Amino acid sequence: MNIPIIIANILTLLAFVIHTFLGDRELKIIEPENENDEKYLKREKWTMVRSGWHWISFDLLLATVGLGLINFTSFFQSERLLLQILAVYFLGYGIVWIIGIAISRNFPKNYLKLGQWILLWVISGLIFIGLN
pLDDT value at 108 more than 80: yes
93, 68, 16, 111 alpha-carbon torsion, rounded to 10°: -40
User: What CA–CA distances, in Å, run from 78 to 68, 74, 92, 132?
Assistant: 14, 10, 21, 15
Does residue 29 surpass a pLDDT of 90? yes
Residue 129 near residue 4 (C-beta atoms within 8 A) = yes
Q: Which domain holds residue 17?
A: 3-131
Q: Which residues contact 107 (CB under 8 A, 6 or more apart)?
A: 113
131 CB-near residues (< 8 Å, 6+ apart) = 80, 83, 84, 87
49 vs 28: CA distance, rounded Å: 11
CB 84 within 8 A of CB 29: no
Give Dmax (Cα) for the chain.
58
Report pLDDT for 35. 76
What confidence score (pLDDT) does residue 34 get?
78
Q: What's the pLDDT score for residue 55? A: 97
Mean pLDDT of 47-57: 96
pLDDT band at 39 (very low <50, low <70, confident <90, very high): confident
**Tally of domains in the chain:** 1
Confidence band for 1, pLDDT divided at 50, 70 and 90: confident
Convert the pLDDT of each residue in 54-85 to its tens digit: 999 999 999 999 999 999 999 999 999 999 99
Quick one: pLDDT at residue 4?
98
Q: Does the global pTM surpass 0.85?
A: yes
